[in-house]
Amino acid sequence: MSTTTLEHLDRLEAAWARSDRIFDLLDAAAWYERPIALRQPFIFYVGHLPAFGWNQVVGGLLARGHCHPEYDALFARGIDPVGVDRYESDRPEQWPSPEQVVAYRDRVRAALRTAFDDVAALEGRDELADRGRVWQIVIEHELMHHETLLYMVHQARRDLVRRPADLPGYRLGCGAPNRRIAVEAGEVMLGADFDAVPFGWDNEFPAHRRMVPAFEADATPVRNAEYLAFLEEGGYARPELWDADAWGWKERVGHAHPVFWRRAVDGWRYLTLFDELPLEHAADWPVFVSWAEARAFTRWRGGDLMTEAEFHRAAEGAPWGDPTRANIGFGSWAPVPVGLPASGVSAWGLHELVGNGWEWTSTRFGPFPGFRAWARTYAGYSADFFDEHHHVMLGGSWATDPALVRRSFRNWFQPHYPYVFAKFRCVRRGERSFTAAR
């Protein structure tokens, strides 16, 4: 094997090891639980990760048929999976057993370990094989699911989740002070050059430049303490602060506070993956909320969310992919006070545009000019979500692998999905800024 091939194998083995560690956080009784209604039960994802690898590499690029025809289809797609109507989340006996799914997983892993030379033989003849791109697809897909699985773990019943013995202590206390920072007008580059980078998803290409007018941005994202003031001043009861569809969603589902908070007899509690803290202990952690909630807060504050281009202008000099200067890569297993470490500041003086939590933008997720769904085995990765119903998030969270914390990487979610480790900050654009709604 070449050095590059060995690197991909090592990365894939490391991704599998972390997947196993995450599933090991769950009691066996949790595998058929569905803590987020919009997601499948955990057992589905135990099968989805290997099915994706098989369907991309062995069944896709190498065109060698099926590993297990039923499971290859059942576990193929994380959203609206084929044939999933046969499997009812409330009836575990309708799903394959854990032993069956784990055996399928292990069989796929063994097949993938032996496929590297065959993929390498196609280099120069197939762009999926060039630079090991198909392996990058499988690896980064696995890394993405580590974070989305933790959204589910966070919402699972606490008696079904095991607290790791080596969990680091929480970093509490004060964060960096906030102030308004003027960001001058200038040109930014969005995206990347396909031929100049080792790998990127289709929505990251092509590179292009945009002009960004001057704006003002908060130096730090909004903290739990600030968001508590919004809640206590009736922010969830004021329809003028919310978009019409967001207000309808909030009223329909009874959403009245961040899902990371719980109201207790002695006050608000903050829910980490494994513990409950008094909210005041996490007062300077960034608040994690849906896009709809973030938008309502910025209106209350008299501002707006950043656009994707403004984010990149503000993030010049940010510590992309550096876990020593940003809270990324599972170093803390939780947020930290905003602006820590202090070395994570951008050239303009804005804190933690990278790490601690994804940053919501006002930009709807869509293709860059000249978009091409280059991976024929995964043509719908981005295109299926170019629907005007998803918003771009940038920068990464504490649970984002450093490999995904690159300048061109784009994440996206619907505006009413409240489970993401996603923060936001306020910006103002001269005369165009909102009138404060207090």
Read off the CATH number of the domain in which 403 is found. 3.90.1580.10
Residue 398 confidence class, pLDDT cut points 50, 70, 90:
very high
Whether 170 maps to a domain, the answer reads: no
274 vs 1, higher pLDDT: 274
Q: What is the pLDDT of residues 252-263, one digit of tens each?
A: 999 999 999 999
Res 199 pLDDT > 90: yes
Res 372 pLDDT > 90: yes
Q: What are the angstrom distances between the C-alpha of 180 and each of 194, 215, 300?
A: 36, 10, 17
Report the number of distinct structural domains present in the chain.
2
Res 394 pLDDT > 80: yes
> Of 127, 160, 193, at which residue does a domain stop?
160
Whether 175 maps to a domain, the answer reads: no
Q: Does residue 115 sit in the same domain as residue 218?
A: no
**Span 159-184, mean pLDDT?**
97
Mean pLDDT of all residues in the chain? 94
Q: Does residue 239 sit in the same domain as residue 122?
A: no
Whether 172 maps to a domain, the answer reads: no
Which structural domain range is residue 339 located in? 180-432
Q: Does residue 262 sit in the same domain as residue 345?
A: yes
Q: Does residue 220 sit in the same domain as residue 317?
A: yes
Asked if 60 and 51 count as a contact pair (C-beta separation under 8 A), the reply is no
> Of 105, 132, 160, at which residue does a domain stop?
160
Q: Does residue 92 sit in the same domain as residue 221?
A: no
Residue 81 confidence class, pLDDT cut points 50, 70, 90:
very low
Q: Does residue 259 sit in the same domain as residue 365?
A: yes
Q: Does residue 149 sit in the same domain as residue 215?
A: no
Question: What's the confidence (pLDDT) of residue 60?
Answer: 98
**Span 408-412, mean pLDDT?**
98
Distance CA 383, CA 206 (A): 15
Residue indicated by tokens 């999926």: 128
Q: CA torsion, points 149, 321, 329, 206, in degrees to nearest 10?
A: 10
Whether 60 maps to a domain, the answer reads: yes
Whether 168 maps to a domain, the answer reads: no
CATH code, domain carrying 124: 1.20.120.450
Selection from 48, 219, 218 nearest residue 142 by Cα: 48
Q: Does residue 255 sit in the same domain as residue 371?
A: yes
Whether 187 maps to a domain, the answer reads: yes
Res 80 pLDDT > 70: no
Q: Does residue 88 sit in the same domain as residue 186?
A: no
